[in-house]
Structure 1
Amino acid sequence: MALDADEEILQDFLIEAGEILEKLSEELVELEQRPDDSDLLNAIFRGFHTVKGGAGFLQLDALVSCCHSAENVFDTLRNHKRKVDSDLMDVVLQALDNVNAMFEQVRQQEEPTPAPDELIRALDRLAVPASQDQPAADATPDAEESEPVDAGAADGDITDDEFEQLLDALQDNGEEEQGSGDEISDDEFESLLDELHGKGKFSGPPTADKAPAGQEDSDPDLISDDEFERLLDDLHGKGGSPTEPSASKPAAKKPAADKSPADKKPADKKPEKAAAPEPAPAKEAPAAPAMPARDTAAPVAETSVRVDTKRLDDIMNMVGELVLVRNRLQRLGGESEDEQMHKAVANLDVVTTDLQSAVMATRMQPIKKVFGRFPRVVRDLARSLKKEINLEMHGEETDLDKNLVEALSDPLVHLVRNSVDHGIEAPDVREKAGKPRQGNVVLSAEQEGDHILLSISDDGAGMDPAVLRRKAVEKGVYDQDAADRLTNNECYNLIFAAGFSTKDQISDVSGRGVGMDVVKTKISQLNGQISVESELGKGSRIIIKVPLTLAIMPTLMIKLGDQAFALPLVNVVEIFHLDLTKKNIVDGRECIVVRDKVFPLFHIKRWLVKKNGEPEPENGHVVIVAMGTRRVGFVVDQLVGQEEVVIKPLGRALQGTPGMAGATITGDGRIALIIDVPSLLQHYG
């Protein structure tokens, strides 16, 4: 590997190849569902071909070898010489896993480990047409030559060997005509491309039999950089098919008489060559339409730039500070009677909001970056569990903060695996229940205000509340009396309890009761909510609600005595004023009844603010907050209003304080603590 390669070239390769490999993972699983889709076959072929080309430039031989073998398989498939089946896809997906592993090694500046020889041999076997029992080496050289060439002609593609011959032809032609290493003319270069793409094969250099004796001593750099770039563009656009080396050599020695009259060069272009038997006129040959357009078009200006994510984070932090200054000026402006001051603050508010939105947009990524791995996850898991499962994905272009995209990856993978393992039944069981043998898992994302809604649903067996109650008692989560009082929704949410599992046997997929607990903890850390809906025999649905970004949070500012606190607005359901003398006591806990619903009542002031013997108020503001399906009422002294805050980490002395998610600076310049509702209730409630 060229570890000392230019860093910019290496980074360009890592970015381009990384995107291609992500797409290949999706396309390969999709191909198994649509094995006869020629566009998909060509796209996968071009993907491996492009990665191979970039790896070859950087001398990553192990990566080149694996991609080349995979490329051969898809050349055979797209020429209809073999059918796509599950066994073939197993081998190809294994090859992609090896390519990804090598790619990660390159990213870490390590020498890539070659793919196992057994895998390369398996790919080579699959590259042989299904009709042939013996390897392709048993075929005659003529047969070897004709098959790939004809296949390329059918698609109008140029092969790797034809590309090599083209370079040889350019060198030979340039030496004979120029004699001094001058570049080949544009018309001659185009005529060679026309010949290749018009015929679908290469007939050999125009004067291959009359090469000068001193050819080895001539200057080999006969093709200009621009012409070489155009040639590469054309090759990658068309996607050439690799052939065996033995197939290319006879082609270069074909007699010149095989050429059509359209391949002759015009006499007025090179008068000294008018008598040559094989001139090739570019004017008469039917030129490929893409080439002249590419040659004459103005160079396209670069529309993107690579920026380090740390710089984006720094900009976001500065915008956060600007938001705090804006809030402070708004508070001061509200106290002023100066009209000009009001206008200036209003303008600052508009500009700050626009700037905040623009900076957030630079950090946004489509959730497709997470969704893209699920087709492969579902496919492999379904194969190992002997299930038939179809995965549907909706809302893949929904954007959210890059930090959230990374943070949601593992929880979503676990939830999808859970749906496949626990939710979807075996094909025979589904058939007996009157369902299609193939189960359905639907993954969707949509934006709702300043939040993202994610859902994972399946049409499997659903959850039985009675079984969940029994398991809760067996595992000591609840006693029998408390378990009997649980509603169905509360039973469904038991799956998030630590150590809780409905599986009787532990497997490498599930059964230990730690996965869903970790999922809920992770979603809570993202200031999100997770809830479960299910119907026995019909299926289940898990809904996740997370904010668009973690940097700036909309909150409800409250006061307990003289101290300000911020409640994340995502948890707030409703607010009302209450006569606290009308509260009830149930199981030793204060409760209130609102619209025939009972809510536990918590006095945050008793927990967080030191009391100085002051009497309990008779009236108070109650904020109903939600955590999944659970609803509780927080009693507060004063409601300040809604405010966007920038989350600041707590100091060393306060780090790890239960119920505190961080701190912020309010509009009046004071410090307010941000309440972590789940942690607060877990510790104090």
Structure 2
Amino acid sequence: MAFDADEEILQDFLVEAGEILEKLSEQLVDLEQHPDDSDLLNAIFRGFHTVKGGAGFLQLDALVNCCHSAENVFDILRNHKRKVDSELMDVVLEALDNVNAMFEQVRNHEEMTPAPNSLIAALDALAQPEGSAPEPVVEEPVSDSGEPQDGGDITDDEFEQLLDALHGDSSPGKSSAETSGKAVSDSGDAKATSGDDEITDDEFEKLLDELHGKGQFAGAPAADEARPDQDEKPAASGKPGDDLITDDEFEKLLDELHGQGGSPTVADAKASKQGGAVRPTPQPSAAAGSKGKAEEPKPKPEAKPAQKAAAPARDTAPAADTTVRVDTKRLDDIMNMVGELVLVRNRLQRLGSESEDEHMHKAVSNLDVVTTDLQAAVMQTRMQPIKKVFGRFPRVVRDLARNLKKEVNLVMHGEETDLDKNLVEALSDPLVHLVRNSVDHGIEAPDVREKAGKPRQGTVTLSAEQEGDHILLSIQDDGAGMDPEVLRRKAVEKGVYDQDAADRLTDNECFNLIFAAGFSTKEQISDVSGRGVGMDVVKTKIGQLNGQISIVSELGKGSSIIIKVPLTLAIMPTLMIKLDDQSFALPLVNVVEIFHLDLTKTNVVDGRECIVVRDKVFPLFHIKRWLVNSPAGQKEPDNAHVVIVAMGTRQVGFVVDQLVGQEEVVIKPLGRALQGTPGMAGATITGDGRIALIIDVPSLLQQYS
């Protein structure tokens, strides 16, 4: 394994190959649904080919071999010699899993575990035309792009033989044995003429002419140099007059010279077979060959112009470097500094509002605009499309549906919606569980759906959209939906509620029971679900992200789970409140509504103080009793402000003394003495320079209520 290679080259390979492998998983599942999509077949073929090429350059032989075998399968598929089916996709997806595993080992600088021989053999069998025995053939099959499908490095003798063919030392009428003998005997002549073993510019020009047609990469050919078979060759470039070789043409040239395998570890037997498939054009006639040999010592007039024509490519190359790789820690540090700037901005705004100096007001206003723009720009650098999470779901749904013998179609919307990179990583596991839950619990078996008058194939829809400074994620299925009565019965059986309390639950409250720890409607535990752990973890994780989760379901029609999370966790919009004279910050994402309340008009239900707002009942909590040591004997006020907050699926009312207003804050971790204090997410500095504690609503309720 060539980990001693240039680290920069290795990192470039990891970035490029990582993006390709992410796409391949989604493309392969898409191919199973659209097996005749030739563009998709070619894209997958190019994906494996590109990863193989980069791995071959770094001498990652195990990775090369697995990608090469997979590439051969797709070469057969795109040439319509075999059809895509589920069994073939199972093998290819297993190969992709092995490639991903080896890729991670390369990323971690570990020794690679090669793909099992049985898998390589299965791929090689699928790389044969349908109906043919998987036996080695004498001559390598050539794809419609002119690329041989197998092979290794070309040997010195084979390269000499290729040069002899170019210089006319073999004719089309000679047998392969005579050609081989001629190559050996003439190799000394070629070396004697050139004076060393290196290929000359003239010979390289002729090799290009053989591969791509005369005149493609040099000046206009002289009349006496025109070959009779030139018109029979298809031009490799779409523009006959173009002097620059394209990336695709250079790829093909490397494949012609070194074989499709591209790895020095490929068996010599494959390399010897490659000799018969290197030349895609007919050999030149004897007359043309003798003429070429006689002129060999003389430099070709086209050689110099060809080198000059290639010069502009080097001049324009730097223009492609429009991106730069930056360590995410550096972005986090910049974001922290912007956060400090926001705090200073808030302080100056408060001081400016107390000043009557007009110039001061203008300066603070300009600072506010610049700080807001800078904050948005830095946040944008941390943003990633949620497609990085969505990209794994086609494979998850496909594998789970086959395991459960269900027919499921996954539809995704809003994949380009941007989200803070920390949230993208944090949402990955909860979303995977919710999607698996929809396939397992929501979508019925094909026969059951057919009896209910539904299509045999169920649909799971995954969507994302931005709403203000929040992201809305939705996981929807057209399955059986949830039965509130079943959920009530399960709640009583598991001791979550007694019968009277369960009967008073609304349908929506019944749906939210699935988030209770240990709660499951599955009668039998399987390797997919049934232990009642997953949804509880999902709710906890979403709560840690200051998000909300809600469920809408209709029996027989399906269910929808909606998640609302902030765009970023770095700078948080809050509602500043006061309890006595101490300031606290409530995350604005948790705030539903605010109103003034006469505290003498409350009700008591099940021993808990409640209020009724628009026919909805909310538990009422005086958080000052939890968070502030009020003087003894202080009289409770008759009127107060109530803030309705939501966490997960619950909504409660917090009684507060004073509302200060909305303010953006930067979360600072609590000191060692206060770390882990229940109900506190951190601290911040307010606009008036005081310290305010940031309330963690779920933790606060769990600790005190």
Question: TM-score band, normalised by the shorter chain?
Answer: 0.7 to 0.9
- Alpha-carbon displacement from aligned partner over 1:356-378 (angstroms, at most 9, x marks no partner): 11111111000000000000100
TM-superposed CA distance for 1:583, in Å, is 2.0
**Structure 1 residue 8 corresponds to structure 2 residue 29:** no
Matched residues in 1 for 2:85 and 2:311: separation?
Answer: 40
Q: What CA distance in whole angstroms lies between the structure 2 residues aligned with 1:635 and 1:197?
A: 85
Structure 2 match to 1:223: none
Aligned in 2, Cα 1:514/1:280: closer, same or farther, shift over 3 Å? farther
Partner of 1:337: 356
Q: For 1:618 and 1:265, locate their aligned partners in 2 and report how far apart those are by CA, in whole Å.
A: 112
**Aligned residue for 1:299?**
317
Counterpart amino acid of 1:195?
Answer: G
- Determine which of 453, 457, 477 is the counterpart of 1:434: 453
Structure 2: distance between partners of 1:280 and 1:104 = 51
Q: Distance in 2 between matches of 1:39 and 1:416?
A: 29
* Matching residue within 694, 697, 704 for 1:674: 694
Matches within 5 A, 1:111-260: 111-132=111-132, 134-137=133-136, 139=137, 141=138, 144-145=139-140, 148-149=141-142, 151=143, 154-155=144-145, 157=147, 169=162, 179=195, 181=198, 183-184=200-201, 188=206, 190-195=208-213, 232=250, 242=260, 245=271, 247-251=273-277, 257-258=283-284
Shift of 1:248: 2.6
| 1:224-277 Cα deviation digits (max 9, x unpaired) | xx9898864566999x9948545432346899755699x99999xx9935999x
Tell me whether 1:647 sits opposite 2:637 in the alignment.
no
Match of 2:491 in 1: 472
Instruction: Return the offset for 1:195.
Output: 3.4
Q: Does 1:54 align with 2:80?
A: no
Distance in 1 (CA, whole Å) between partners of 2:253 and 2:397 is 35
CA distance in 1: counterparts of 2:201 and 2:272, whole angstroms: 28
C-alpha distance 590-8 of structure 1, shift in aligned 2 (>3 A): same
- What is the correspondence of 1:22-101 to structure 2 with a 5 Å cutoff? 22-101=22-101
Deviation at 1:136, TM superposition (A): 3.3
Q: How far did residue 66 of structure 1 move?
A: 0.9
Cα offset, 1:44, TM superposition:
0.9
- Secondary structure in 1 matching 2:511: helix
In structure 1, the residue matched to 2:634 is 614
SS in 2 for 1:553: strand
Q: Where in structure 2 are the equivalents of 1:476-491 lying within 5 Å?
A: 476-491=495-510
Q: CA deviation at 1:497?
A: 0.4
2:27 corresponds to which letter in structure 1? E
Question: In structure 2, what is the Cα distance between the partners aligned to 1:387 and 1:440?
Answer: 11
- Where 1:537 maps in the other structure, the secondary structure is coil
Superposed CA deviations along residues 113-137 of structure 1, whole A, max 9, x for unmatched, are 11111111111111111121x2232
Q: 2:595 aligns to what?
A: 576
Q: Distance in 2 between matches of 1:164 and 1:335?
A: 82
Q: Do the aligned residues in 1 keep the contact of 2:543 with 2:648 (CA within 8 Å)?
A: no
Shift of 1:652: 1.8
Q: Deviations over 1:397-446 (max 9, x none)?
A: 00001000000000000000000100001111111111111010000000
Q: Within 1, Cα distance between the matches of 2:498 and 2:394? A: 41
TM-score for the superposition, normalised by structure 2: 0.84
The DSSP-based 3-state class of the residue aligned with 1:249 is helix
Q: Secondary structure at the match of 1:624?
A: strand
Residues 1:234 and 1:155: Cα distance change in structure 2 (over 3 Å): closer
The offset of 1:545, in angstroms, is 0.4
Aligned partner letter, 2:508: N
Offset of residue 635 of structure 1: 1.0
Say whether 1:565 aligns with 2:581.
Answer: no
Check 1:644–1:167 CA distance in 2 against 1; reply closer, same or farther (3 A cut): farther
The sequence identity of aligned pairs, in percent, is 75
Distance 1:323 1:294, change over 3 A: same
Q: Equivalents in 2 of 1:22, 1:552: separation in Å?
A: 30
Per the alignment, residue 406 of structure 1 pairs with: 425
Structure 1: which 5+ runs fail to align?
199-205, 207-225
Unaligned runs of 5+ in 2: 168-189, 217-224, 226-243, 262-269
Distance 1:492 1:231, change over 3 A: same
Q: Does 1:308 align with 2:334?
A: no
Residue 188 of structure 1: how far off its partner (Å): 4.6
Tell me, yes or no, if the aligned pair for 1:556 and 1:640 is still in contact at 8 Å: yes
For normalisation by structure 1, the TM-score amounts to 0.86
Q: Over residues 593-630 of structure 1, what are the superposed CA-to-partner deviations in whole Å (9 max), with x where a residue is unaligned?
A: 22232222211111111121210111111111122443
Q: Report the Cα distance in structure 2 between the residues aligned to 1:315 and 1:281, rounded to whole angstroms.
A: 55
Deviation at 1:457, TM superposition (A): 0.5
Q: Does the CA-based 8 Å contact 1:394-1:443 persist in structure 2?
A: yes
Contact 2:414 2:464 in 1 (8 A): yes
Select 1:386's aligned residue among 379, 396, 405.
Answer: 405
Report the 3-state secondary structure (helix = DSSP H, G, I; strand = E; otherwise coil) of the residue aligned with 1:667.
coil
Describe the shift of the 1:280–1:159 C-alpha distance in structure 2 as closer, same or farther (beyond 3 A). Answer: farther
TM superposition shift of 1:661: 1.2
Q: d(CA) in 2 for partners of 1:253 and 1:336?
A: 84
Q: 1:626 aligns with which of 631, 646, 655?
A: 646
Matched ranges for 1:262-277 at <5 A? 272-273=295-296
* Contact persistence 2:517–2:533 (CA under 8 A): yes
Question: Larger deviation: 29-38 or 169-178?
Answer: 169-178
Aligned residues: 638
1:589 is displaced (CA, Å) by 2.1
From 507, 510, 524, the counterpart of 2:543: 524
Q: Which residue of 2 aligns with 1:202?
A: none
Measure the CA separation in 2 of the matches of 1:630 and 1:493: 9
2:585–2:693 contact (8 Å) kept in structure 1: yes
Give the structure 2 partner of residue 377 of structure 1.
396
Find the residue that maps to 1:452 and give its secondary structure: strand
Distance 2:192 2:66 in 1: 39
SS where residue 316 of structure 2 aligns?
Answer: coil
Instruction: For residue 591 of structure 1, report the CA deviation from its aligned partner.
Output: 2.0
Alignment of 1:433-512 (within 5 A): 433-512=452-531
* Amino acid aligned to 1:625: V
The structure-2 alpha-carbon separation of the partners of 1:392 and 1:36, relative to structure 1 and needing over 3 Å to count, comes to: same
Partner Cα separation in structure 1 for residue 199 and residue 453 of structure 2? 76
AA partner of residue 78 (structure 1)? R
Identify the residue that residue 211 of structure 1 maps to in structure 2: none
Using the TM superposition, give the Cα deviation of residue 59 of structure 1 relative to its aligned residue in structure 2, in angstroms.
Answer: 1.3
Q: Is the 8 A contact 2:63 2:114 kept in 1?
A: yes
Change (3 A) 1:350 1:465: same
Contact 1:529 1:627 in 2 (8 A): yes
